Amino acid sequence: MISYLFENRKINISQENIADLPFFESNKLDYLIENSILGQNADNISIDINLLEFFEDFLNISEQINTAYISDTVKDLESNIIFFIEETREKEKENYLSKIKRYLKGISRNIKKEIIALKRNTDLVYKTEQNFNIKKIKLEDYKQKRNDIIDLRISIGNILDSKRIILESIGDIELNSIILNVHKILEESFTYLIEIQQELIEYINKAQIYGEIFRKVQKLKYLKDHQEIKYKTNITKVIAIEHALILQPRRTFFYKISNAFLQSDEGFGVIKKLVKKNKQKNKVILPSKVIISDDYFDQLEELEEIIDLNAIKNAFYISGQDLFNFVMNFNLQKTFTFDERVTIFCKIISEYEDELIIKDDLGIHNKLNYALVYPG
């Protein structure tokens, strides 16, 4: 349940939503709420804010950039170095030394974490925030956060430089290793912060430009909707002299295919696809709104029993007429209605499509369009 709520922490989850889950148990939910592991606001259930922040920090996915915490840690570090220098009791000096190590580890870890979060959030806001004004404000805020981290980096470097002799004189191997790691993190962070600064400047400039374009487009749309765009702007003149590719008519270029390619297996496959496509294009397509009743299929079965389609097809081949007129005028053994003859026409096309030539042109019979079909 906690895992489900954490994965959906950015949306409101109601108690009803949780009750539908396969792993839901009401007694467990009550227990978690009573022990402040989960919080309930009206009908919504969520993880306690302190526990949620702990999970996000532990997994290094927090979207919050908390430079104030690092600043406080830097102050505590400086104070404990002074306390260590002034303290004369050996046991207390050990306690202060332990705190110095812990603060240094925390500083290097948190600076790295905040830089990663800053980079991730900067990219996320630029790519996903749709409101240009909000996007610009958030990016400006991240720019200030970046400057705060720069200041903290300088402060930490100054403290380590000013207290270098004292810290080295302690002779603690672990402390020296931690200090070396802090220096390494500070050097790496400088490169990342320069990169983030360049991205922020680029993103802010783009957000401002796109915001201005968006406002202009909104204004043009307003004028267009009110039929005022031609009289209150020079858009007609601008489009007339503009040669941007998007405003140009689409051009189609034809290239001759080499005989060598056409004679290859790949070329043969392309030819087969084109032939199939051409046949599909020339097929008679009934209007989408025509509803074919069940009687039609019964009628089709009856026609197949009465007539010999192959004999009609053979007679058509020597008639010199198009198929539709031939079927309409052909002397059949039985009297057929117009609709039944149309059915025979369609049936012959369906059965002997490969032996027929279906033209792009259409014939007309009593305001009815039909395909012109000839012997192949």
Closest CA to 140 of 221, 214, 200: 200
Question: In the chain, what percentage of residues exceed pLDDT 90?
Answer: 0
pLDDT tens track for 232-259: 888 888 877 877 766 666 666 566 667 6
346 vs 250: which has the higher pLDDT? 346
Query: For residue 375, with 0-12 CB atoms within 10 Å meaning exposed, 13-18 middle and 19 or more buried, which class applies?
Result: middle
Computed over every residue of the chain, the mean pLDDT equals: 79
Task: Find all residues with CB under 8 Å of 170, minimum gap 6, and list them.
Answer: 97
Same domain, 24 and 91: no
282 is a domain residue? no
76 is a domain residue? yes
Q: Is there a contact between 294 and 315 (Cβ–Cβ < 8 Å)?
A: no
Q: Tokens 């905040």 correspond to what residue? A: 114
Same domain, 315 and 353: yes
Helix H or strand E encompassing 80: helix 67-86
Record the pTM. Answer: 0.48
Same domain, 32 and 47: yes
Across the chain, the runs of DSSP E, i.e. the strands, are 13-14, 38-41, 44-47, 356-365, 368-375
pLDDT at position 287 is 46
Q: Is there a contact between 282 and 358 (Cβ–Cβ < 8 Å)?
A: yes
By three-state DSSP, how is residue 60 classified? coil
Give pairs for 190-195: CB < 8 Å, separation 24+.
190/153, 192/115, 192/119, 193/115, 193/146, 193/149, 193/150, 193/153
By three-state DSSP, how is residue 103 classified? helix
Closest CA to 137 of 68, 207, 193: 207
Same domain, 181 and 169: yes
Same domain, 51 and 174: no
Distance CA 105, CA 180 (A): 11
The CATH number for 206's domain is 1.20.1050
Domain limits for position 11: 2-58
Same domain, 204 and 133: yes
Same domain, 166 and 315: no
Q: What is the tally of structural domains in the chain?
A: 3
Distance CA 156, CA 103 (A): 11
201 is a domain residue? yes
Q: Is there a contact between 355 and 320 (Cβ–Cβ < 8 Å)?
A: no
Count other Cβ atoms within 10 Å, centred on residue 126: 19
pLDDT tens track for 107-128: 888 888 888 888 888 888 888 8
140 is a domain residue? yes
